[in-house]
Structure 1
Amino acid sequence: MILLVPANPLRPRHPDEHFAAEAQAAQAAGLDVAVVDHDALARGGVVRRAVASVSGSGVAVYRGWMLRSEQYAMFAEVLAERGVVLRTDGEQYRRAHELPGWYAALAAVTPPSVWTTGSERADFDRARVELGTGPAVLRDYSKSMKHYWNEAAFIPDLEGGGAAWRVASRFLELRDDEFVGGFVLRRFERFASAEVRTWWVDGVCVLIGAHPDSPDDFAPVEIDPAPIAPMIAGLGLPFVTVDLALRTDGVWRVIELGDGQVSDRPTTIEPQAMIGTLLAQAR
């Protein structure tokens, strides 16, 4: 298996510092490691240049910065021309990376959600009315702006159309060209714990740890991933993360599912443990 990581912009033949420890752990475990130009991947049209340093052939896993689904699909296509096959194909990446791709399978264990196609006010209002009244959390298909909670994420009451649209407008302003797909409105639920990030290979939970946003906050009670395992396995995705939080009534809820290749590793998980999940894929 080949591990692909972003190149350091200042030292293009070396891994980006954020992923250097994982690259070193992979080499120590006997994996081949190659760097790719993430900026070129994200720009589009220069993908062949982005993968120019990738040699050899076989199955590959990417561990790097987030890519839009169409960028990842082109990445996979150009690598395949060189004899390198990403274990997660373009369609699988989109289903993991964008909420509409995984929501139906996990609807019973995640906050009720509706979404639009595009960013028009009329479509937003239709989705808002469909979800009903009360508080909600706004995001797009791939990302929230939770660090701008009061201005671009939390909607106190969906019934207030003008106030809700102001939040949506600020969200659009902040996301700018990175806005993906459409608006997603999710029913607000209260949680009693920080998020926990779980890592899954072929529908099996192989690693549990803190969320990167709160690496030193651990779950107040032990997590049993068994109840959601059939749902995750049913998605047929090779490598994903599932973020969970404990609701105030003591029920674990799925906050997010993401492609494991572009999910950040918290500092409290050693890089060797991350590489262990990749080796689990290789077996």
Structure 2
Amino acid sequence: MLLLLPRDPLAPRRVDGHFAPEAAAARELGLPTALVDHDELTRLDGDPARAVRGVPADGDAVYRGWMLRSEQYAAMAGALADRDVVLRTSAEQYRTAHELPGWYAALAGVTPESRWDTDGDPAWLGSGGAVLRDHSKSLKHSWHEACFVPDVTDVVAARRVRDRFLELRGEDLVGSVVVRRFESFTGPEARTWWVDGRCALVTAHPDTPGEVPAGADLDLAAEGVAALGLPFVTVDLVARTDGAWRVVELGDGQVSDRPVSSPAADLLTALAGAR
């Protein structure tokens, strides 16, 4: 397995410092690594071939790096294919995992009710609260300003939150505004890592690296993850205040952050042993 990591923008021959633990773990495990230029991949006038020019030809590769839009990942996959390097996660699979409309149907019964065809209007929920996001990201750190609608019947307040969300996301908006039914959760989230449909690792969430919730219900997501048939994903689980476990998010594992409390070697060992 060839591990692709983002290079340091200020020192192109070195790995980005955030992913240095992955690079060190790969060396210890005897896994080859190569650097890709994330900035080149994400620039409007970027050249994907230039971004991957340091990747050796011919290999089975997994990317561990900063988030890419689906079209940027597809461009990277194409440039790598020209070098006979095949990403385990295809461009289509990446979009399925990275964008909520791709995975929602498979997990609809265990995640908050959601729609993305209402122009951000949460009135269809009838009552209660709503959470806004786009196809790949919320603004949870701007919770009251651009994420949470306490009462969907308050049209003025709902539009204010939606408009602020759109303003802050700006050109970074992915797809459309997604409206999710608000559910009250308690305690920290568990980040679960699934390789070829099997849960290979349970860690803390990166936002709460020192807290791994006990008793996370892995069976909750197992059927849906298997149905999706994706090679490497994360599923974030959290307990609702009534005690039921719920899926908060599914994401592509290549661009899901690893909590600092979890050794990079554990994750890479699971990936390297998958095939």
- TM above 0.5, yes or no, is yes
Matched position secondary structure for 1:237: coil
d(CA) in 2 for partners of 1:156, 1:179: 23
Q: Deviations over 1:128-163 (max 9, x none)?
A: 232322101110000000000010110011112221
Task: Tell me which residue corresponds to 1:72.
Answer: 73
Paired-residue identity, %: 59
Question: Normalising by structure 1, what TM-score?
Answer: 0.94
The yes-or-no answer on 1:148 pairing with 2:149 is no
Matches within 5 A, 1:67-106: 67-106=68-107
Asked whether the 8 Å contact 2:41–2:47 carries over to 1, the reply is yes
Asked whether the 8 Å contact 1:6–1:15 carries over to 2, the reply is yes
Write the letter of the residue equivalent to 1:74: A
Asked whether the 8 Å contact 1:114–1:130 carries over to 2, the reply is no
**Structure 1: 5+ residue stretches without partners:** 117-121
d(CA) in 2 for partners of 1:70, 1:61: 17
The yes-or-no answer on 1:196 pairing with 2:197 is no
The yes-or-no answer on 1:226 pairing with 2:239 is no
Q: Deviations over 1:97-150 (max 9, x none)?
A: 00000001000000001113xxxxx7333xx23232210111000000000001
Asked whether the 8 Å contact 1:48–1:78 carries over to 2, the reply is yes
Task: Tell me which residue corresponds to 1:206.
Answer: 200
d(CA) in 2 for partners of 1:57, 1:31: 15
d(CA) in 1 for partners of 2:153, 2:269: 48
d(CA) in 2 for partners of 1:179, 1:124: 13
The yes-or-no answer on 1:38 pairing with 2:38 is yes
Write the letter of the residue equivalent to 1:184: V
Task: Tell me which residue corresponds to 1:217.
Answer: 211
Write the letter of the residue equivalent to 2:240: R
**Structure 2: 5+ residue stretches without partners:** none
d(CA) in 1 for partners of 2:133, 2:262: 27
d(CA) in 1 for partners of 2:126, 2:217: 32
Asked whether the 8 Å contact 2:216–2:238 carries over to 1, the reply is no
Which deviates further from its counterpart, 57-66 or 19-28?
19-28
Deviation at 1:62, TM superposition (A): 0.2
Matched position secondary structure for 2:186: coil
Task: Tell me which residue corresponds to 1:123.
Answer: 119
Question: Normalising by structure 2, what TM-score?
Answer: 0.97
Aligned length: 274
Which consecutive segments of 4 or more residues in structure 1 shift more than 3 A?
none
Q: Deviations over 1:189-226 (max 9, x none)?
A: 1112111100000110000010001111221x322412
